Amino acid sequence: MCSSRYLSNYDRMLGKMSKEVAMSTQPDDLKKHWSITGVAIPAGVLTGLGVGFLINNIAAGLFLGLGGGFLVMMIGMLILQIRK
């Protein structure tokens, strides 16, 4: 009984390792696209924080900045996909 439990844990570990290997073999262009557009979210949050301080509502500014960051990231990914 114990050996089957260890075997199932071992199989799960192998499954996770194979997924990690599969994710690390992504094309370099795709990694570059994610790294370029991934900056949009923190930039949006920081911009939203500044707007939140200006309008005296920090939480609303953060949420608007986060939404704007996701929007800019989506638009950037679409542009990079079209160019490809």
Alpha-carbon distance of 73 to 44, in angstroms, equals 10
- pLDDT tens digits along 7-54: 565 566 555 555 555 455 667 766 666 777 788 889 999 999 999 999
pLDDT band for position 63 (cuts 50, 70, 90): very high
Alpha-carbon distance of 46 to 65, in angstroms, equals 7
pTM greater than 0.75 = no
The domain spans of the chain are 2-83
- What is the pLDDT, as a whole number, of residue 7? 54
- What is the pLDDT, as a whole number, of residue 80? 82
CB 25 within 8 A of CB 10: no
Alpha-carbon distance of 21 to 45, in angstroms, equals 32
- What is the pLDDT, as a whole number, of residue 59? 94
Alpha-carbon distance of 35 to 83, in angstroms, equals 17
Q: Is the pLDDT of residue 62 over 80?
A: yes
